[in-house]
Structure formats: C-alpha cells, structure tokens
Amino acid sequence: MKSLGIGLIGTGFMGKCHALAYGSVKAVFGDVPQTRLEVLCDVPAEKAAGLADQFGFARATDDWRDLVADPKVDIVCITTPNKVHREMAMAALQAGKHVHLEKPMALTLDDARAMQALAARSGLKTIVGYNYLHNPAISHARKLIAEGAIGRIVHFRGMVDEDYQADPSLAWTWRATKAGAGLGTLGDLGCHLVSLAAGLVGPIESLIAETRTVHATRPVEAGSDEHRPVENEDIASALLTFENGVHGVISTSRSAWGRKSYIAFEVHGTEGMITFDQERMNELRLYQNRGPVAEQGFKTLLTGPDHPPYGQFVPAAGHQLGFNDLKVIEVHEFLRAIQEDRPAVPSFSDALHFEAVIHAIAEAGAEQKRVSLK
C-alpha cells in the first residue's frame, strides 16, 4: 500500500498525542503502511508553523478547510473542541479522506447519527479516540471474560473521575456550555467508561440516571466578581441494563478532588471477578473461586509480552506502557483497518452507541425516567 499522508487539526494535549503516535507507529509495529506527517492546522498561523516544525509536519496552515482539501492528505485527524467535530468530520469524508476523530463524536446525538450515516455511505474508514479500549490489560480482561474465567457475567460497576472542575474559583470556559461542549462530565469522561462497559459486557439496552451541576456559576476570569452559568453536568450516575440481561452501575464526576485519571471498574461473574484501575494501568486483578477456600484471593496480573501488543513496545514485563502508547496501538488498529479494508474499532458505528448511552443518561437525569436505547 502507498504511504498515507496525515493532516492534523489541533495541537493541544490530544493533537500532540496524535502526532507522536503517527510518527512512531511504523517503528513500533512494522506491519503498517508508511505515514507522512503532511499538514498541521492551528491558529494563529505562527503557532501552527512552530508546532509543525516541532511535531515533524511538512507544512502548516491556519485554515482547516485547506488541510481537508489537500491532495496529499489521506487521513484527517481531528483533535479540536467538540463544537466543530461534525463540520470537520463530514467535510473530510466528503473530500474522500479517512477520519480519526477524538471523542465525543459531536455535540448532539443527531449530529453523531448524521456523521455515522455519511461515513457508512462513503465506504471510508473512521475511528474514534477511545484509547483506553486498546490497553493490553483491557484486551486481556476481554479475553478472560470470553473464555469464561469468571463464569457468567452478572454485574458491571464502574467509576471515572477527575478534579479539573472541582475548584469553584476556576474560570468559566467553553466546556461549561452546551453550544461549545455539549454534555459535561458525560462527554469528557463518562463516554470512556461507557466504551469499556460495552466493550467488556455488551451493548446497553436501557437505563435510569441522575445528574448534578456542582458549581452553578463560574467567574468569567480568575478573581472576577462577574459569573456565568454552567450549563452542563459535573456529576452523573446511572443504573444500566445490558441487552444480555447484565446489571450495571456507573458514575462519573469532573469535580472529584484528588482524582486525576481515575477509571476503575469491576466485572462480577458467577465464578469470580475482574477489577481494573487506570491509575495502575498496567495491572489487572483477578479473583476466581477455585481451589481451597483458605487460599482464594485476588491476584494481580502485571502486563507483559504475553498480553499483546505490549511486547511490540518492550520485551520485558514490569517496564510498563503509558497513556501515549495506547494512542500508538489505536493508530495501528486504524492503519491496519485501512490496509485490510475492514472497519476499525471503534468506528463511527461503534462510537454511536457510546454517544447514545451518554445522551440517554442526560435525558434520564433531566426527566427522571427510564430511557430505552432501542
């Protein structure tokens, strides 16, 4: 396959993560097409030019439409604020480009549906940035569940918390608005937990929920007496019913002091349990009710080369992967999907279910009713 040109829109935390991943994926895996870092877009133009040089891109622009139209760009990576996801992704698909989009897909469920429908008609490949799904520890948990290591699954329990909105004195930003961010903690954090729940247990059928805004207003800038309203949720919790009958409980907060990247879950089975904590992302804990009762207990599985694709990065257990490595695995999945002409995981179609769940949680919380996803 010919080399693939990369166009990156956005140069923040996730933009840099994408640049690092596309720049190193060939060295790590070897079995993917060569990629070319062609065009980087940000504003102002001077910032774009400086970061293009830093990240290794051939050219820079301050107009994302020029990047999308560039004939040397085959894959458009979108790492921008949520409000422009739909416009950029659909323009890229219409221009015949594959799309790598950071989560959430869009501001509204209708927007996400329109994006998925266009992607399906186009025949182009899409992937959404649920990089935690690509953790070797999570992949091994999925394998253990499929093999019946903990028996029949009966319950999923999960939390995802951070504290980036815990301080009431923090200034108001676009993340506090429905027009700029859409959902609050559900769009930022909760969707990651939903992706893990669905990836491990299966699709979600219905739910009930509650949502809360902890800080109703925020100062327009640090120290200001002028405040603006927070339009979306800081906390959300839901009781889930999966299509296979499994029961679940999930909770998310962006106002949880002390939490940084806390994604934790338990999968309960009739013969044991699997637990995980993202702050210890290279460890999986497994309990099996086998052998003498006096010797039963949780054991810690430390990821290593026996948990693919860990060994592509380092040949020895205990040396540990990091957050950015998960993006390299995600990029590998996307490039292989393009090479093999198959859907990537998670595609727009997969991610549409995650979007439907978080919007159902928001609806159930607002209207205090059970919401069906069918």
Contact 335, 35 (CB under 8 A): yes
Closest CA to 264 of 245, 284, 241: 284
Q: What is the pLDDT of residue 141?
A: 98
Q: What is the pLDDT of residue 99?
A: 98
Q: pLDDT of 312-358, one tens digit each?
A: 999 999 999 999 999 999 999 999 999 999 999 999 999 999 999 99
Q: How many CB atoms lie within 10 A of CB 187?
A: 23
Q: What is the mean pLDDT of residues 92-96?
A: 98
- pLDDT bin (cut points 50, 70, 90) of residue 181 is very high
DSSP, residue by residue, 148-195: TTT-SEEEEEEEEE--TT--TTSPP-GGG-TTTTSSSHIIIIIHHHHH
CATH class of 4-131: alpha beta
DSSP, residue by residue, 114-129: HHHHHHHHHT--EEE-
- Of the chain, the end-to-end C-alpha distance in Å amounts to 40
Question: Which pair of structure tokens corresponds to residue 73?
Answer: 């760009």
CA distances to 108, 267, 297 from 291, rounded to whole Å, are 50, 21, 10
Q: pLDDT of 185-233, one tens digit each?
A: 999 999 999 999 999 999 999 999 999 999 999 999 988 999 999 999 9
Question: Which pair of structure tokens corresponds to residue 11?
Answer: 């140069």
CA neighbours closer than 13 Å in the CB half-sphere of residue 105:
31
How many helices (H) and strands (E) would you count in the chain? 11, 17
| C-alpha radius of gyration, the chain, whole number | 21
- pLDDT bin (cut points 50, 70, 90) of residue 28 is very high
Query: CA 90 to CA 96: how far, in whole Å?
Result: 10
- Helix, strand, coil percentages, rounded to 5, for the chain: 40, 25, 35
Furthest-apart CA atoms within the chain: distance in Å:
67
Contact 286, 301 (CB under 8 A): yes
* Mean pLDDT, all residues of the chain: 97
H/E segment holding residue 24: helix 13-29
Q: 291-300: long-range contacts at Cβ-Cβ below 8 A with a sequence spacing of 24 or more? A: 298/273
Question: Would you say the C-alpha torsion 239, 356, 106, 7 has a positive or negative sign?
Answer: positive
CATH class of 135-317+347-372: alpha beta
Q: pLDDT of 227-258, one tens digit each?
A: 999 999 999 999 999 999 999 999 999 999 99
Query: CA 366 to CA 71: how far, in whole Å?
Result: 46
- Domain limits of the chain? 4-131, 135-317+347-372
Q: pLDDT of 110-133, one tens digit each?
A: 999 999 999 999 999 999 999 999
Question: Who's near 92: CB < 8 A, 6+ residues apart?
Answer: 68, 76, 78, 99
